Amino acid sequence: MQVMRILAATSGLILTTTLLSVPAQATTHGIELKFLGRFATGAVGVGASEITAYDPVTRRVFVVNAQDGTVDVLDIRDPRRPKKVNTLVTPGANSVAVKKGIVAVAQQAAVKTDPGTVSFFMASTGHKLREARVGALPDMVTFTPDGDTVVVANEGEPSSYCADGVDPEGSVSIVNVKRGTVKTASFRAYNGKEDLLRAKGVRIYGPNATAAQDFEPEYIATDKSGRTAWVSLQENNAIAIVDLKHARVKEIVPLGLKDHSKPGAGIDASDKDGKIDIRPRPVLGMYQPDALASFESRGRTYLVAANEGDAREYDCFAEEVRVADLTLARLDAEVLKKDAELGRLTVTSTSPKNAAGDTTELHALGARSISIRSAAGALVWDSGDQLEKLVARKLPAQFNADQENDSFDSRSDNKGPEPEGVAIGTVKGRTYAFAGLERVGGIVAYDLGNPSRPSLAGYVSSRDFTGDVEAGTAGDVGPEGVLFIPAAQSPTFRPLLVVGHEISGTTAIYEVR
């Protein structure tokens, strides 16, 4: 794949745009993802199975049950028949991680704009050890590889953008596991530099928000030394690079824009044309990754990003708008605004405008792809339109379906298959990325043997499109957290994937062959 950077002057801002050619294919080392079993909570559509974590000593999986405010503990010694053996009482639980027999749970406060906590439990008994206070809305927690430190993404979402709303600052908490002491990597050093950041392509756009308030940490990946963390700032279309030893944000890296007008980077933009129509469009996609994961290749660290996309929708400010409702500064505006073209496509209302207020560029939410980035945040590879084409090939009758059955094409206007969770795993010496497609469902695997030319290696879906989602008969719907268990730690001595599904309320287990 050829990657080229250009600078486009728009409304006084300098935006970095990534132009994509057709993704190059490396030699494919295919794998089989075989469904083994599932645990069903019986609660549908309420987030009863979200993020998952695994303790290899007890062979237990810990699953965030947001509906009950608990972490469900599943015994997977027989992964074909996982069973619930314990419950951790964790009101406001958003995320869970396990290392060296210790379970860490990120919990938001009853009022989400108040400081949250991280609670620590024994994996073997469920006994609570201690808790530490962190920032507002701790949304993700992870251990450093040595298990001595927990890193927390404090999203700091506002209650609203109205005059009486509360907008806490986003931050990253660094917790010493043994002592429970907390250091905070703050974004306050960027307050007053908002215009400079915007000029570099970082989105800072919440009404009346400072940089520290506007940055909303979503997900964290660390390097193998535990010294550096990469934090996705999803709504801001950026990544923060954090020095964990000194609890300092070293850099904010804008992720640029994906040019969907290029061959190999097209999208299906309409949910009203009744067909699969993936082709180049005059649209720029904001990558806006949710989950990040890191891996090493030939001594270099890389990031895998699931480019889900996300919009802000609050009282007094909501950014989503359809192209048909905009005034476009284009000669072909009326053609583009037809339903079968771009009229139905959801974009951000903050897309660039000229002096007359007409929209000059269309910025779509998310990139409908998986990306590889360098440790500095530079784009190395992007899957282009491979995910939509994969679904079109494997599930043509359910192409770009939503989380209800009989919803063919309904997400084409808004983020497509919506890749969200991602995990890295090694199978027989080769490194793979596994990503969940939140809307249509299923897990896609990429061979990362060559980080600049990953290849599609497998896909599995345990969703039953003939069932009833609300009745709980549709299998696994809405993958959220993706977890890889290496063969050496697996109860079957074969690699496993464990996936929490927030819509079906199920935890599914797959064997990687």
Query: Which range, of 26-40, 198-212, 259-273, 444-458, averages the lowest pLDDT?
Result: 26-40
266-289 pLDDT, tens digit per residue, is: 999 999 999 999 999 999 999 999
The three state secondary structure string of 171-203 is EEEEEECCCCCEEEEECHHHCCCHHHHHHHCCC
258-297 in b/e burial notation, b at 16+ Cβ within 10 A? bbbebebbbbbbbbebeebbbeebebbbbbbbbbbbbbee
Q: Report the pLDDT averaged over residues 4-22.
A: 30
Q: Report the pLDDT averaged over residues 27-39.
A: 85
Q: Report the pLDDT averaged over residues 380-403.
A: 98
Alpha-carbon 430 to chain mean position:
23
Please give the Cα distance from 465 to 404 (Å, whole number).
9
Please give the Cα distance from 216 to 173 (Å, whole number).
13
Please give the Cα distance from 116 to 68 (Å, whole number).
17
CB 294 within 8 A of CB 302: yes
0.85 surpassed by pTM: yes
pLDDT at residue 19, rounded to an integer: 31
Q: Could you give all domains of the chain from N- to C-terminal order, each with its CATH number?
A: 33-319+365-512 (2.130.10.10)
229-260 pLDDT, tens digit per residue, is: 999 999 999 999 999 999 999 999 999 999 99
Both structure tokens of 394: 């494997």
Residue 212: its H or E element: helix 211-214
Task: Report the phi/psi class of residue 350: left, alpha or beta, with left for phi > 0 and alpha for psi in -120 to 50.
Answer: alpha
pLDDT at residue 29, rounded to an integer: 65
pLDDT, averaged across the chain = 94
CA 430-431-437 angle, 5° bins: 130
Residue with tokens 């944000």: 249
156-197 pLDDT, tens digit per residue, is: 999 999 999 999 999 999 999 999 999 999 999 999 999 999
Please give the Cα distance from 233 to 253 (Å, whole number).
10
Split at pLDDT 50, 70, 90, the class of 30 is confident
Q: Residue 337 above 70 pLDDT?
A: yes
Provide the H-helix boundaries in 291-416: 333-336, 386-394
51-94 pLDDT, tens digit per residue, is: 999 999 999 999 999 999 999 999 999 999 999 999 999 999 99
Q: Residue 6 above 90 pLDDT?
A: no
37-62 pLDDT, tens digit per residue, is: 999 999 999 999 999 999 999 999 99
Q: What percent of the chain has pLDDT over 70?
A: 94
